[in-house]
């Protein structure tokens, strides 16, 4: 049995860089080819400040530190592995991806709540770009064996 982490404990911090190349790759992998994520002209015509990252790319990348934490937990005696059972976010701000610089996204994963009975650990993600929060109420629930 894995020891449950303390509420408030920091699990991981990570800074990632999203460039237009990452946006193209996410478009190909997900099938979301909306041009606001690729073409500056289209993005500006839509009233956006520039090409923006897919919200789902930010959401997908932001949970990766938790995926890594979960992968490092020990399975149960009967082989049951730790698992992410729920993950939700609000898309509160756009991540503008500069053609040259891209965008830096900072992810901090912290234990928000621990249920000793169900062994469900809630991990709260703080996700910022240009020093502003881009995902609201970003919470991951992990079943810990």
Partner 1 sequence: MPVNPELLGRAFPATAPIEVTAASVHAFATAVLASDPDASIAPPTYPIVVQQAALDELLADPSTGIVLSRVVHGEQRFATTRDIVIGDVLTGELTVTAMRALGPATMLTAETVVRDAAGEQVATATSVLVIGEEDAA
Which residue is listed with tokens 């997908």? 60
Instruction: With contacts defined by CB under 8 A, name the span among 26-34, 96-104, 108-116, 117-125 that binds partner 1.
Output: 26-34
Q: How far is the CB of 134 from partner 1 (least distance, A)?
A: 13
Compare residues 38 and 91 and give the one whose CB is closer to partner 1.
Answer: 91
Q: How far is the CB of 56 from partner 1 (least distance, A)?
A: 5
Which residue is listed with tokens 């049995």? 1
Which residues, other chains included, contact 39 with Cβ-Cβ below 8 Å and sequence gap of 6+? 51
Instruction: With contacts defined by CB under 8 A, name the span among 85-93, 95-103, 112-120, 126-134 that binds partner 1.
Output: 85-93
Give the span between the Cα atoms of 107 and 61, in whole angstroms.
Answer: 9
Compare residues 111 and 140 and give the one whose CB is closer to partner 1.
Answer: 140
Q: How far is CA 75 from the centre of its chain?
A: 24
Candidates 30, 118, 132, 133: give the one binding partner 1 (CB under 8 A).
30
In the DSSP assignment, the letter for residue 93 is S
Evaluated on CA atoms 37, 41, 47, 49, the torsion sign reads: positive
Contact set with partner 1 (CB under 8 A): 16, 22, 25-26, 28-32, 46, 55-57, 59-61, 63-64, 66-68, 71, 81, 83-91, 140
């Amino acid at each position: 049995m894995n020891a449950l982490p303390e509420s408030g404990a920091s699990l991981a911090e990570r800074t990632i860089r999203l460039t237009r190349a990452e946006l193209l790759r996410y478009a190909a992998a997900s099938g979301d080819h909306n041009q606001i994520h690729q073409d500056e002209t289209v993005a500006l015509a839509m009233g956006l400040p520039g090409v923006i990252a897919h919200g789902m790319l930010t959401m997908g990348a932001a949970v990766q530190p938790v995926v890594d934490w979960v992968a490092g937990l020990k399975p149960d005696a009967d082989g049951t592995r730790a698992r992410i059972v729920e993950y939700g976010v609000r898309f509160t701000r756009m991540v503008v991806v500069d053609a040259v610089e891209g965008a830096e996204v900072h992810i901090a994963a912290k234990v928000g709540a621990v249920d000793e009975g169900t062994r469900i650990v809630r991990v709260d993600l703080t996700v910022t770009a240009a020093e502003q929060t881009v995902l609201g109420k970003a919470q991951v629930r992990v079943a810990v064996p």
